[in-house]
Amino acid sequence: MVYGVFANYDRPLLSPSKNQQGSTSNPVDYVDILFEWQSKLLEITENIQNEHFAKLNKRFNSKAEPRKFNQGDFVIQQRDSTGFSGKPNARWIGPYLVMERRSNDPTHPVLDLMNLTDMTIKEAAADDCRHFNTSWFEDDTMIPELTKIAAQDLDEYVVLNILGHKPSGETRTTPLSKYYFLVQWEGFSEPTWEPYQGVKNLEPLDVYSQKHPGLKIPISLS
């Protein structure tokens, strides 16, 4: 934006910088350098924060008893143990649903956790998990609300409904791997066609299969 009466219209938005050889780089290279340094600063910030919290955990948990989790609990998992990368302040992701707690090693138990967004099961060390308090959620809306939270942490999107399928017809004549389903997404007005492999473990597809028994879609939920 230009303010005042006099303005220099030949002046660039970014002043070109000089590299170590003294030659001048163009504004595109200059912006690329800024992004590169921003990424480095974020990485340094995340490392410093992780070191800080590691010291706090060591101080407060040095004499703590092993954490106890039961089937049906909701937990969050430490991001560093999942392999996900993200914002420096996103240290925990989830929530996940505890499906089973293996006590074969009482000092380091393993949990089977269900991802609420796609119903997949994964293993996690109990030492890397914390209880997720669900007391402020209403019982009838708790699962949908927790699914939204989990989807945001995992950079995923929530499927609201399945609206249609192709090839069309109420009787399936080809393998399900050849089918596409019209998906209505949370927060988006336009539905998209998704392959069966992408929606096969989702509750909305179970609901859709009950309305279209001729498709013979396996039910994933008991």
The pLDDT confidence band at residue 30, using thresholds 50, 70 and 90, is confident
Asked if residue 9 has pLDDT above 70, the reply is no
Which residue(s) pair with 101 in the sheet? 111
The percentage of residues in the chain with a pLDDT greater than 70, rounded to a whole number, is: 74
**Two structure tokens written together for 32:** 């690329």
Mean pLDDT, residues 13-40 taken together: 67
Distances (CA, A) of 6 to 2, 3, 49, 126: 9, 8, 48, 66
For the ranges 29-43, 105-119, 178-192, the maximum mean pLDDT occurs at 178-192
The percentage of residues in the chain with a pLDDT greater than 90, rounded to a whole number, is: 22
Asked if residue 97 has pLDDT above 70, the reply is yes
Q: How far apart are CA 172 and CA 187, in angstroms?
A: 31
pLDDT at 144: 84
Average pLDDT of every residue of the chain: 78
DSSP SS3 for 133: coil
The pLDDT confidence band at residue 63, using thresholds 50, 70 and 90, is low
Which residue(s) pair with 115 in the sheet? 96
DSSP SS3 for 84: coil
Helix runs in the chain, H state only: 27-61, 142-153, 196-199, 203-211
For the ranges 6-15, 64-73, 159-168, 198-207, the maximum mean pLDDT occurs at 159-168
pLDDT at 19: 52
Task: Summarize pLDDT for 135-163 with one digit per residue, the tens.
Answer: 888 888 888 888 888 877 766 677 889 99
Which residue(s) pair with 114 in the sheet? 97, 121
The pLDDT confidence band at residue 1, using thresholds 50, 70 and 90, is very low
